[in-house]
A = this chain, B = another copy of it.
């Protein structure tokens, strides 16, 4: 049985620079939640971004360099956003009609995850820094303070080729095996499975994001 229980929304939301772990601890405590070994804690990546102070004014990119200007022109993208993307993206994959396609933190994502939704007016939220490290901090926190061995995932949402709508995705993982390798295991006829590796972390992220609602 898989159980996904929401603890949020938390009110007020995490402030810029506020440590979400202290807050999460308090929220769990006030709700009387008891954690057990083997449970997985899913935290929205935006919560981590806020906590890390990764909320910045658009005016940050008022000076646009020559390369950014040329790329912006080529793809019809906003100059400030192109400058921001060049700074943030791990890879720029291409662009189309004002959109820039990038690779960042292990997923293909528009504009390096730079997002205006759930950001103060005139500001954007950036992808968190080191999501695996953040997942590790969560695992260590709960081991030290609660004495339980949980797993942790940092959840973002992403688009999928040929499908409408977004799905949760594990931007960071710690304390659980992200892949369940079934290769070599027998199928129902006893023949070995040749390709099947299940992405456990992303499957859990999809379930968690469904329960989180619109604030991920």
Contact = CB atoms under 8 A, between A and B. Distances in A.
Interface residues of A, number: 55
B199 A163 contact: yes
Given A118-B188, A189-B121, A191-B117, A202 B207 contact: no
Interface in A103-158: 103, 106-108, 116-121, 157
A204 interface: yes
Contacts of A179: 164-165
Q: Quick one: which of A108, A163, A164 has the most chain B CB within 10 A?
A: A163
A179 B107 CA distance: 22
B107 A1 contact: no
Nearest to A209: B203
A33 interface: no
A107 B198 contact: no
B118 A211 contact: no
B182 A196 contact: no
A6 interface: yes
B166 A196 contact: yes
Contacts of A167: 167, 198-199, 202-203, 206
Interface in A38-63: none
Q: Quick one: which of A160, A180, A209 has the most chain B CB within 10 A?
A: A160
Contacts of A178: 165
A2 B207 contact: yes
Nearest to A1: B5
25 contacts: A1-B4, A1-B5, A2-B3, A4-B207, A108-B162, A117-B191, A117-B193, A117-B196, A118-B188, A119-B189, A120-B189, A121-B191, A157-B196, A160-B160, A160-B199, A160-B202, A164-B179, A165-B179, A165-B200, A166-B198, A166-B199, A193-B214, A198-B210, A203-B210, A206-B207
B163 A107 contact: yes
Contact of A199 (B5, B165, B194, B215): B165
Nearest to A201: B165
